[in-house]
Amino acid sequence: MSDDLDRRSVVIFIAALISLWFGRFGIRYMPDTTTRLAEMCWWAGTQIVSYLIVPMIVVRFIGMKPIDIGWKFRGTSGHWKYYAILLAIAVPFVVVASTTTEFQERYPLFEVFRGQEGAWSDLRIWWIFYVLQFVAVETFFRGFLVLGLAKRFGQASIFIATIPYLMIHFSKPSVEALAAIVGGIVMGYLAYRTKSVWWGIALHVSVAALMDFLSLGRKGFIW
């Protein structure tokens, strides 16, 4: 049994390194002639392939199921209150951060302007990819790494997953990068306890939507 856990852990680590590399550098393979929307959807697509499709293939290969890495709905309805508390804590920090120059220079990731032709249509397409990207990120870090390694490393898997999660935030505003440490540990712990990633996905999408709404609003697109 221990040998099986060790082999699974090794495969997960190797797959995680491949996923992290492609998630970071896959954007380089984008075609040269493209629009900003296509560029951003390509970026989101690399995250979806790296952090969702690859883990799902690996999970099947090593004899696990999607439910083993947090794709679990049954028995999770009561967990919403923990994530609602986290959202209530995050909202004032996001509102304050949205007033800073660093935040405005970074967000929204896909920027549109008042009067821009097809802006709302482009936003709808972008947000489909953006939401799937969060499904991928939560599945990878809180599911594939935390839950996938939990049987071998116990709660230490939370900290194992937090390290690369922090690393993918290095290019973001400093406050957000620091928040990734706390967020990675707290959300990793909740995933570890609840054995599900879906409320974490809902929280991540909610915070991202608020960030985009505030940024677009302050730039005059919404109000």
Q: Which pLDDT score, from 0 to 100, does residue 193 have?
A: 95
Which structural domain, as residue segments, surrounds residue 204? 2-218
**Is 107 within a domain?**
yes
Give the C-alpha separation, 73 to 198, whole Å.
7
Q: Quick check: is 192 in a domain? A: yes
Q: Any idea what the Cα angle at residue 72 is, between residues 84 and 183, rounded to 5°? A: 40
> Is residue 90 a part of any domain in this protein?
yes
Mean pLDDT of 209-220: 91
At residue 10, does pLDDT exceed 90?
yes
Assess if residue 223 is contained within a domain. Answer: no
Domain tally, the chain: 1
pLDDT digits (tens, 9 = 90+) for 143-187: 999 999 999 999 999 999 999 998 888 777 777 778 888 889 999
Q: Which DSSP letter does residue 30 get?
A: S
* Least confident span in 46-50, 84-88, 102-106, 207-211: 102-106
What confidence tier does 1 reach under pLDDT thresholds 50, 70, 90?
low
184-203 pLDDT, tens digit each: 999 999 999 999 999 999 99
Q: Is residue 36 part of a domain?
A: yes
From the DSSP assignment, how many helices (H) and strands (E) are in the chain?
A: 10, 0
In a domain, 170, yes or no: yes
pLDDT of 43 higher than 70: yes
- Alpha-carbon gap, residue 163 to 159, rounded angstroms: 7
